[in-house]
Structure 1
């Protein structure tokens, strides 16, 4: 299996374990999320999963928490590989075209879903998660709550399954996928 770490090593890029914050204070990142309160988010190398927000939005379902963590880890990989920076630059260029800007956001979010699938596959490979439970995690439909920015529930599942099944960053090519695969 090709791992994200292996790809980053081969490209001479840094990798590392992100910080994880369960508190509701996000420091400098908080200004980005003052109006919209996401369940969790990644900012500057830290995965923020405020306990109150996660419990309020997802309840005590551990599997939902794991999928959320895996998705945010996908954003961490995007940050390390330069995808988040390139995505922000692309968003600035397409700011005049709202539909195109929104499509770019979905491409970024769905790639994070694909990386989440790779995260879950690696957890199975490392013996941290049993395969049956992992398959259930990747088969779970995504959330319709933020479909405009994160893609349809079916596409969230589609990309998560691709990352899990293929275990390769090439399976996560949302940036070149047809528009219907990122709606």
Structure 2
């Protein structure tokens, strides 16, 4: 089980957020899996669940919503398990602040039911997602139950942290311009499509963070066991397009893939972890897939 550093400082102000602007929801990691299932099995248009690209009213930022306000030290996680979300967020952002020049910390906004974002109004069917329009990660707090009950993952803190880190990987892609380039090409599907390459790169970035988090003496995550790493890889496999299609409709159609196969999701998460180098995550290189 993930071991937390009791005396580590937690910053709950990173839970909350402001909104404004526009853009497309970046569906990845665990995000969008229920949407994907609905699209594959029932033929539902994901756009019906994400509400288009309307811009909501901006909301004030800087104040952590309950129950996160009391999450100020790593020891608080044993008292209140909700504090683990603050630990994931703080650790991931601390790494990228040091690894990416000019990185500005963003917000994680927890929600249930639905939430208004700069990318539109999203229902909980979307799961966790990143909105480039307001540079915010939105956390559907019920998703991790879906990950184990509907998608068959083993779950656990490391699996959850992988999903968080994947969404922050999308933020890095937004900063580098890779996300905008892929999205400007329109909706793409298939095992070697730009959309799949985008998702696999975010998986790799998640692995890079997992490599570094326990090396930081100020990180709230003190250690990861082999079982933790296995659970993260297991979660990556559970959200593979082929695994979901086989589980939900009994057949696999690679041309409809949007996230990548279970094997490729595992491969790129592991590559990021093994190298600890974001430069190793070029899923767009010739021959990468």
Contact 2:127–2:140 (Cα < 8 Å) also in 1: yes
- 1:8 pairs, out of 97, 100, 114, with 100
Counterpart in 2 of 1:27?
Answer: 116
Give 5+ residue unaligned stretches, structure 1: none
Counterpart in 1 of 2:162?
Answer: 67
Counterpart in 1 of 2:128?
Answer: 40
How much is the aligned-residue C-alpha RMSD, in angstroms? 2.9
Counterpart in 2 of 1:150?
Answer: 259
Task: Flag the 1:67–1:171 CA change in 2: closer, same or farther, 3 A.
Answer: same
Counterpart in 2 of 1:171?
Answer: 280
CA displacement at 1:88 relative to structure 2: 1.3
Counterpart in 2 of 1:49?
Answer: 139
Contact 2:97–2:105 (Cα < 8 Å) also in 1: no
CA displacement at 1:39 relative to structure 2: 2.3
Q: Does residue 136 of structure 1 match 2:245?
A: no
Alignment TM-score, normalising by the size of structure 1: 0.76
In our comparison, the structure showing a higher alpha carbon Rg is 2
CA displacement at 1:172 relative to structure 2: 0.4
CA distance in 2, matches of 1:66, 1:177: 30
Contact 1:102–1:149 (Cα < 8 Å) also in 2: no
How many matched pairs?
168
SS at match of 2:238: coil
Give 5+ residue unaligned stretches, structure 2: 1-94, 150-154, 243-256
CA distance in 2, matches of 1:152, 1:84: 20
Alignment TM-score, normalising by the size of structure 2: 0.50
Select the structure that is richer in strand: 2
Q: Deviations over 1:95-137 (max 9, x none)?
A: 6xx5569711100000000000011112121252424245334
Alignment of 1:73-152 (within 5 A): 73-89=168-184, 91-92=185-186, 99=189, 103-127=193-217, 128-133=221-226, 135-140=229-234, 141-144=236-239, 146-147=241-242, 148-152=257-261
